[in-house]
Amino acid sequence: MPSPANVADYLLADKAPDTIALRTLQGDHSYGELSRAVAGVAAGLAGTDPPGSRILLIADNSLFWVAAYLGTLRAGCISVPLPASIPPADLASIVRLTEARTALVQHRSLRHHALALAGLRVITDRTLPAELPPAPVASLPLVAPSGLAAIMFTSGSTGTPRGVMVSHANILANTESIVQYLSLTAADRIMTVLPFHYCFGTSLLHTHLRVGASLVLDSRFLYPEAILERMAETRCTGFAGVPSHFQILLRRSTLKKRSFPHLRYVQQAGGHLAPVFVREWRAALPHTQVFLMYGQTEGTARLSYLPPEFLDSKPGSIGKGIPGVTLRVLDPSGRPVRPGEVGEIVAEGENVAQGYWQAPEESAQYFRQGRLHTGDFATVDQDGFLYVIDRGKDFLKCGGVRVSSRHIEEQLLECDELLEAAVVPIPDEVLGEAVEAFVVPRQPVCTGPCQWQTCCSIQERVRRFCRAHLPPQLVPREIVIFPALPKNSAGKVVKSTLKDFCSLR
């Protein structure tokens, strides 16, 4: 019998073989086709890679990615998903850290990574047969619930990648919880623009395969109109994204002029979406449910959500812990804060990961007695709803007072001329730290090459807006106009790049 603890069996068991699992631009793939491909990968690994082996996975969202990921898990091995765009030096470091001996790689990425993968057994989407005779169930290892399923790499406070150890039990617990509060069914179809190597993207895969739903895979978000057309064409019932996805759809696409009668809900996580964009989305598509969520890779994916019915009464809140998760906001002595006081968010539940791979000291800092100390600071209200103030590392200290960068960014984005905004601290002889703001105009302001250049007219308008809406000490000393903010492969703003830019000026 298949192992009930194995994520692959948990996701694929009892699915109608003819039902569509994945819809790609190249064609549709049924659950039967996916199950055969997963069995083929498991068979290909089982004879050479013993249980517990780390298997690198480098590919874009595709049937190959899903089959490689689930086939690795079914073989009792540990998947190490990485972006196809990973810098070669980072890949070489991860190869050494994980001691991986096998890599499943999309063929078109192979040349770029050939040096870092030298000496590894490499299997590509061209060399892997579409169908292999499945390994007999009896020959595949059983996994314990606590057995590792994946090492998900995320950047730490220093920018150095660290691998979060996620177990089969972590994924099962988080998946069940998300399915419950989103009320997912086999009738759902999710537009998937998030990469699967990112925990938010992986959670979309887990939850929708679990209920027998379909995932529409489309990586063309640089062309948002193509995404909107595809959503309408495939009658998507759901959409998920990080803040930049919603900002672009609302202020650089025709979304507000379109109708999506089948769109039941949207999920937003991966950072704070300013209230102005929540208001704009609800005005544009009032029939869709908006789920604002908070999570970390260290919590497998999701930790909290705000039910749509509280969007008006609890603006700016991340809600409460998802089913099975307890969230507390604790002061430095470990006691729960009172309403209005600031403390660190601490999470407890079966989805809390096992720590960081080969990093015992850092694991001991953030994972204590089964609890995850998130490094995020928040307040609570009288009803127990949480409000994130900022990441600990993203606070500014202006005039001796700690200030949330998120608060300043929210105010900047109330200016409807802007698409994106991010602030970082810069040294100031009087205040200690002053604000430097990086903003992206809603409409391009330069006709020629403009990266790293500024536009005086919009600078002055943004500065006037800030003077009218922010205390004097928080008005940005510098406002830099960018055509786009630097982002990682998941679409999240990389503030370390902005800080590096400041230091070079």
Query: Which domains, ranges and CATH numbers included, belong to the chain?
Result: 1-19+30-143 (3.40.50.980), 399-504 (3.30.300.30)
* Torsion sign, CA atoms 363, 364, 370, 371: negative
- Burial (CB < 10 A; 0-12, 13-18, 19+), residue 262, is middle
Strand partners, 55: 79, 102
Phi, psi (deg, nearest 5) at residue 215: -115, 125
In percent, how much of the chain has pLDDT > 90?
75
Taking CA atoms, 189 is separated from 185, 203, 227, 493, in Å, by 9, 14, 14, 27
Model confidence pLDDT, tens digit, residues 35-66: 999 999 998 898 889 999 999 999 999 999 99
Nearest to 296 by CA among 383, 371, 398, 218: 371
Is residue 18 within 8 Å of 30, Cβ to Cβ? Answer: yes
Question: Quick one: pLDDT at residue 214?
Answer: 98
CB atoms within 10 A of CB 300: 33
Question: Quick one: pLDDT at residue 445?
Answer: 62
Question: Quick one: pLDDT at residue 201?
Answer: 97
Question: Quick one: pLDDT at residue 505?
Answer: 65
Q: Where are the beta strands (DSSP E) in 179-242?
A: 189-192, 214-217, 238-241
Is residue 79 within 8 Å of 149, Cβ to Cβ? Answer: yes
Q: Give residues with Cβ within 8 angstroms of 479, minimum separation 6.
A: 436, 437, 439, 454, 459, 462, 463, 466
Q: Give the DSSP H or E segment for 420.
A: strand 418-428
Is residue 387 within 8 Å of 306, Cβ to Cβ? Answer: no
CA 18 to chain centre: 30
Three-state SS string over 400-414 comes to CEEEEHHHHHHHHHC
Strand partners, 167: 148
Is residue 102 within 8 Å of 120, Cβ to Cβ? Answer: yes
CB atoms within 10 A of CB 347: 25
Per the prediction, the chain carries an average pLDDT of 91
Cα dihedral value 462, 465, 471, 474, nearest 10: -10
* Torsion sign, CA atoms 77, 158, 500, 273: positive
Structural tokens at position 425: 């601290």
Is residue 250 within 8 Å of 284, Cβ to Cβ? Answer: yes
Cα dihedral value 93, 350, 69, 358, nearest 10: 20
Alpha carbon distance 330, 22 (integer Å): 42
Alpha carbon distance 22, 363 (integer Å): 36
Q: Where are the beta strands (DSSP E) in 202-359?
A: 214-217, 238-241, 265-268, 289-295, 302-306, 320-321, 325-330, 343-349
Question: Quick one: pLDDT at residue 364?
Answer: 95
The total number of residues shown for the chain amounts to: 505
Segments of the chain scoring below 50 in pLDDT: 1, 131, 156-158, 447-454
DSSP state of 133: P
Is residue 488 within 8 Å of 468, Cβ to Cβ? Answer: no
Interstrand relation of 343-349 and 214-217 (parallel, antiparallel or unpaired): unpaired
**pTM score of the predicted model:** 0.90
Question: Quick one: pLDDT at residue 124?
Answer: 92
Residue spans of alpha helices (H) in 241-337: 243-251, 275-284
DSSP state of 257: G
Q: Give residues with Cβ within 8 angstroms of 18, minimum separation 6.
A: 30, 31, 32
> Can you tell me which residue has the tokens 């996916």?
34
| Rg of the chain taking only CA atoms, in angstroms | 23
Alpha carbon distance 106, 104 (integer Å): 7
Question: Quick one: pLDDT at residue 132?
Answer: 52
Model confidence pLDDT, tens digit, residues 275-296: 999 999 999 999 999 999 999 9
Alpha carbon distance 41, 64 (integer Å): 10
Alpha carbon distance 242, 268 (integer Å): 6
* Distance in angstroms between the alpha carbons of the first and the last residue of the chain: 63
Question: Quick one: pLDDT at residue 451?
Answer: 43
Q: Give residues with Cβ within 8 angstroms of 136, minimum separation 6.
A: none
Alpha carbon distance 137, 152 (integer Å): 27
